[in-house]
Structure formats: structure tokens, C-alpha cells
Amino acid sequence: MCEKATNVEAIFNENVFTMGKMKERLPKKVYAEVKNVIEHGGELSPATADVVAKAMKDWAVEMGATHYTHWFQPLTGITAEKHDSFVTNPDAEGHMLMEFSGKELIKGEPDASSFPSGGLRATFEARGYTAWDCTSPAFIKKDATGAILCIPTAFCSYKGEALDKKTPLLRSLEALSEQALRIVRLFGNTKATRVTASVGPEQEYFLVDRELYLQRKDLIYAGRTLFGAPAPKGQEMDDHYFGVIKERIGSYMKDLNEELWKLGISAKTQHNEVAPAQHELAPIFNTANIAVDHNQLVMETMKKVAKRHGLACLLHEKPFAGVNGSGKHDNWSICTDDGINMLDPGDTPNQNIQFLLVLACIIKAVDIHADLLRQSASNVGNDHRLGANEAPPAIISMFLGEQLEDVVKQLIETGEAASCKEGERLYTGVSTLPDLQKDATDRNRTSPFAFTGNKFEFRMVGSSDSIASPNTTLNAIVAEAFCEAADLLEKADDFDVAVHDLIKEYLTEHQRIIFNGNGYAEEWVAEAERRGLPNIKSMVDSVKSLTTEKSVKLFEKFHIFTKAELESRAEILYETYAKAINIEALTMIDMAGKQLIPSVISYTTKLATSISAVRDACPEADVSAQTELLIETSSLLAESKKALEALKAATAKAAAMEEGENQAKAYHEQVMPAMSALRAPLDKLEMMVDKELWPIPSYGDLTFEV
Ligand code: ADP
Ligand code: MG
């Protein structure tokens, strides 16, 4: 049976207060003022804000909304909301009017003392402020709980320190715009007034049956399995990747798409991913700020719709050991408001040189700040991917593709790029540059940072993480490189010669970051070390890169973070790590102690009873199979019990430590290994104990029976 087709054009943006709706509902002058602030920054006058707020409220009420919320992104990595209704005091006759003022639209004061602030907000000034970010449109969240008008906001302390992920992102976008404009001006562009980063995140996720999910405490509390023997079949047949989408999953995707389209999220691509039960969704790219907000909504909607379909959506980076984990490829480019993608090689010699300068700047930025980029993609779950058994590696390198790498090589060697592997020559006046063909870039799946024709794909980001930090970092480091280049070039007597020399200099100095080979190979680790590239193996090890002198200088220069803000973030990251591993350890202790070990005891008792019963009934019978099983299971049982006690001790010791780097290290270096030591014998036992007695669904049940 096929349901009636959805009218996508009709539902797209249904729940968003778009520019179009503002145009319809606002007086011309007010609309013009709002548009100007959205496009060029600045503040709305109080009178205008009142008019906008009223129009927004009227629309929201027509849509069924009774409440509004300042929707923000605290450092928990997810979003937060506190609902206020439009209800006001009734008049003497008892009539009440729904109201929403400009002041309420622009600024909120949630009592936000329970959000992580890393010491930035002393308890006596616990108040946090939310401020409307008009560059991301207001929208309505509609579900069984009702309809809520959500106003995207930035979240700051009383003193204006950023307490969220959006504030630094917006600041980094400002910095990037300002510095990138200097670059395009150098090449004669007088029209562009703003440059922005465009981002398209590909979101990977797993879907499992909700009934089975609810039988596993590890999935409920930790979002990943903490025990589990591999299923007989994994991903080795490559039959899931791009495979036919099962009807149950397809029906989920259909609903998910519709929900997203209503929110103005242009869900575009969907497919099965490599691991069983793993899938991907990619939207069409958007400006970085909106892309970040949308990605939060995508993650939230994925979970919500899953429930409705009797499914559970797992966004964890590594829900299952032994099969691929999930990431989020962050596709990133820089575009001017007159429509030029600065990462597009372009058709004219002038554009080509500009492209090469931009490329050289990015190569320099990524090389100098490889540690920061690595940090920006770190989270607790991603430790199971980066530098662990799977891709991408923890070492930052850049993939340019054969053609572009060849051009870079020629520029370094001779200062010219006279020949090209494909395509024709272009005479530029400064040097001969080949026609760079977009489609000539080959695919490399192992690089953490790959050029893909007109954008970079940052592949390290974890599937559950906000994409705010990676993009803030990218914007910041590239703004710095643009700034340094512009400082030199604006003063140059002979621009053509200067730009030519600068490109050569940057490429020569930073070529070590370029690597087109296999990033998974053992040899690369040794080669990267020879090149002096950082190999930061874990989240805990990555945190200190935030507060180095180099990092503070970068972020303070462009007013993205103050030193205090960076220090507070580092502190929060250590705390987050410790808390997350503590939850995982406690969950393992709970499951092992109350579920798994008791079921092994039942099984050994069953074996022992069987041995005596068989012997009693028939003394000549061979009971060697039962006896061997009993010996083996009992020995693994003893090992499990010992490991359980060791894990309890390690966890208690780490939990008693003072919060901070040392505590995080204790969780990483003591508790994590103790967790593995407990898992190992219990995973073996899962393969021996009667399936009827094993209290939790297996990997096979979870990933193949969806
Ligand atoms: P693949 O899996 O081949 O890498 P997908 O089509 O799954 O590609 O995803 C590519 C993502 O990159 C999409 O979200 C797409 O909108 C985005 N993208 C395309 N062009 C740009 C660009 N110029 N800037 C940023 N993102 C882009
Ligand atoms: Mg893809």
C-alpha cells in the first residue's frame, strides 16, 4: 500500500518564521530594518523589535503555539529551552490577551545556574542571558507536547562571557568575514560586503528496535553497548552500504524528512551506511550558523521520530564494538555575498590565483593549528573512533587530490605550475596555472581533512557532537591566516610578485600537512611523526591545546574567546569526560552485578545439576561436555567477579578525586582499562551461556532484527 504523496513544496518551511512571512506580515519599513540587521549586523530599535515580536507571536498563535522559548546551546552539547506562555494578566473583567514584547523577543534571563560554566559564572551572579540571534530564523516545534515558538539565541553570563556554543561561532563568522573580505578586495572585488562559511554536515546514525533497546541499560544510560559479543555476521559482506532500505526504515526516513522539511531543513540524501543498522542523512549546505542550529534539530528529530516508529536512534560515535562507528562529515566552504565560493578554483586566471592563495592560507592554518582542529572534534564517544580501531586517524593531515597536489608540488619547486595532469594551461601573468578541474579530484576516504572540489570535508567530527566547535575553529584559524596574508599583501609594491611569493612560501613551509596516501596505514603514523605532526590520541590529551599561548593569541585577537573563556571550556571538557566515563563504569557495574553474573551463575548451576542428574540416572554416561563447560564458565565467572571488584575500586578512586585534568586522566587511564577487563570475560560468556538465560539482547538481535 502506498500512502498519498506528500506535497513537499507546500510543507517546506511550514513551521518557520521565514523572511517571506516577515515580508508579508511586517510594514515595509520595519521589514527593511530587520533585513538589514540580519544581513549586515547591528541592533533593532526597541520600536521595531516590538512590531516584529507581535507579528511573530500572531503567526505562532495561528500555528497553535501557546508558549515561546529562547532556544539556546549550552556547553552540554545539546539544546536547552524553558517555556513561557504568551499569557498575560487578565483585565478587571477577566479577559486575557496573549502578548509578546520586543524585549521578550530580544533578551531572556533564564535562571541557568545548573548549566556548565567552568567557573565563569559565580553562583552569586548565576543569571545567564539569552540574546536573539536573528540570523537564524525562529521556528515552531510541534509535537504531542503542543506547539512552541523557538527563538534561536546566544547564551552569555552577566559579564558577557560566552556560556554556549553559538556565541563563539557567531564571533568566528564575523572574524572570517572581515578577513576574507580583505582577501577578495585585493583581487579587485569591490561588490562583496560579507563573506560567510557554508556548512553541510552528513549525519550518521543507527536505528534499533525500541523494545530491545529498553532491555539494555547500557544503551539507555550510556548510548552505547558496554558489553556484547560480535554477531556471526558484521559488515564484511558490504551488503548494507547503499543497500535496499528496509520498509520499516524507509517509513521512518519518510516521516523524518517531512518533519525536517517543515522546519526548513533541506534533507536531501539518505542511505544505508557501512555497518548493519547504520544510516546517513545529509541536508543541503547552509550558512554555518543555520547549519549548526539545523544539525541540532536533525539530531533531536531523529530521536523523536524513532520513538514514534518503535525504534531508538543511536547517535553515539560507537554504539557497537567491532563494526563501524558514526561520524559527521563537516563540509565547509567560504562564500561571498556576491556568490563566489572562495574554494572554487574558478574560470579566470585572477580567480585561480585567488584560489591558490586561499588554499595556501588554509594549508598554513591547518598545519599551525592541527592540535586545535583535533580538539574541536574530540568528544567522549569519538575516542573510540579517532586513533582507535577505525577511521579517520587522530593525526590531522590534508588531502588535496592528485591534480592539486601536483600543482602545489610544481609551485614549491619552480614557483610556477606550468603543466597540469589534465586540462589546459592558463596564462596568468604571474605564473602559468593549470585549469583545475573540479571533478578531477579523486576520492580518498581515509583523510581527516579532504579537499573535495569546491569545499573541504572535515571528517573527524563525532556523530553526536554539535558542529559548532569544529566550525568555530575552522573559521578562526582561516581568519588568522587570511589576516596575516592581507597584512603583507596590502602593503606590497608589486602585488603580483608578492602574492606569487607568498603562495610559494606558505606551500613550502606547510607542505608537511599534505598527505594523499592511506591514513589508516601503520606507516603513516611513523611518517607523520617524522614530519612533526601531532598525534593526539584521546579527548583528554587534546584539551590542553585550547589554552596554549598560540591558541589564546588566536582566539583573543579575533575576539572569539578570551583566555578565561578558553580555560573554562577546558575545565568543562575534563569534567564532562570524567562524568561520562563514570556513568559508563557504573552502568557496567550495575549490569554485570545484577544481570550478567547472576545469569552465568544460573547457567553453571544448570550445568552442575545436569552433571549430577545424568550421573545419577546413568553412571556410565559421558558427562565430559557438561564438565568442561562448567569448568570453563566457572573460571570466566571468577575472572568476571574479580574484574568487577577491580572496576568498582578504580571508579570509586577516580570519583573521589578533585574535578579537573587529573581526574579525567584517572578515568581515561585507570577506569577505561578496568572496563575493558570486565567486558572481555563477559563477552566470552555470552557465547557460552544458554541464550534463554542471557538477560540482554545480543548484537545480532539489535542490528539485524530491525
Ligand atoms: P559525500 O557522501 O559524497 O561526501 P553527500 O552528498 O553525502 O556527499 O554530502 C555532501 C554534503 O556537502 C552535503 O551536505 C552538501 O550540501 C554539502 N556541500 C556541497 N557543496 C558545499 C559547499 N560549497 N560548502 C559546504 N557544503 C557543501
Ligand atoms: Mg555522504
634-660, pLDDT tens digit by residue? Answer: 999 999 999 999 999 999 999 999 999
Average pLDDT over residues 31-47: 90
Lowest mean pLDDT among 134-138, 306-310, 389-393: 389-393
Ligand 1 atom nearest residue 280's Cα: 7
pLDDT digits (tens, 9 = 90+) for 62-115: 999 999 999 999 988 889 888 999 999 999 999 999 999 999 999 888 776 778
φ/ψ of 112, rounded to 5, equals -115, 30
Q: Which of 280, 326, 330, 455 to mutate to test the pocket of ligand 1 (most atoms within 8 A of CB)?
A: 455
User: Is a pLDDT exceeding 50 seen at residue 383?
Assistant: yes
Using a 6 Å cutoff on CB, does residue 285 contact ligand 1? yes
Ligand number, closest to the Cα atom of 269: 1
User: Is a pLDDT exceeding 90 seen at residue 8?
Assistant: yes
User: Is a pLDDT exceeding 60 seen at residue 437?
Assistant: no
Average pLDDT over residues 265-280: 94
CB 640 within 8 A of CB 600: yes
User: Is a pLDDT exceeding 60 seen at residue 607?
Assistant: yes
Which pLDDT does position 399 carry in this prediction?
94
Average pLDDT over the chain reads 91
Which pLDDT does position 433 carry in this prediction?
52
pLDDT digits (tens, 9 = 90+) for 525-564: 999 999 999 999 999 999 999 999 999 999 999 999 999 9
User: Is a pLDDT exceeding 80 seen at residue 583?
Assistant: yes
Distance 5 CA to ligand 2 centre (A): 26
Which pLDDT does position 86 carry in this prediction?
94
Using a 6 Å cutoff on CB, does residue 451 contact ligand 1? no
Distance 130 CA to ligand 1 centre (A): 32
User: Is a pLDDT exceeding 60 seen at residue 56?
Assistant: yes
Beta bridge partners of 201: 330
Q: Which of 199, 270, 271, 285 to mutate to test the pocket of ligand 1 (most atoms within 8 A of CB)?
A: 285
Distance 693 CA to ligand 2 centre (A): 41
User: Is a pLDDT exceeding 70 seen at residue 157?
Assistant: yes
Number of residues written out for the chain: 706
Ligand number, closest to the Cα atom of 333: 1
Amino acid at site 64: G
pLDDT confidence bin for 435, thresholds 50/70/90: low
Using a 6 Å cutoff on CB, does residue 202 contact ligand 1? yes
Lowest mean pLDDT among 139-143, 191-195, 392-396: 392-396
> Whose CA is closest to 6, among 179, 260, 234?
260
Which pLDDT does position 124 carry in this prediction?
53
> Whose CA is closest to 162, among 643, 448, 565?
565
Average pLDDT over residues 511-533: 92
What would the grid cell of residue 28 be?
515595509
- 74, 113, 156, 465, 698 from 165: Cα distances, Å: 6, 17, 10, 11, 37
Which DSSP string corresponds to 86-108? S-----TTS-------HHHHHEE
Half-sphere exposure of 195 (CA within 13 A, CB side): 26
Lowest mean pLDDT among 76-85, 104-113, 267-276, 601-610: 104-113
Ligand 1 atom nearest residue 200's Cα: 14
Using a 6 Å cutoff on CB, does residue 454 contact ligand 1? yes
Distance 271 CA to ligand 2 centre (A): 8
pLDDT confidence bin for 2, thresholds 50/70/90: low
Average pLDDT over residues 430-446: 55
Selected residue with higher pLDDT from 62 and 41: 62
Which pLDDT does position 640 carry in this prediction?
98
User: Is a pLDDT exceeding 70 seen at residue 438?
Assistant: no
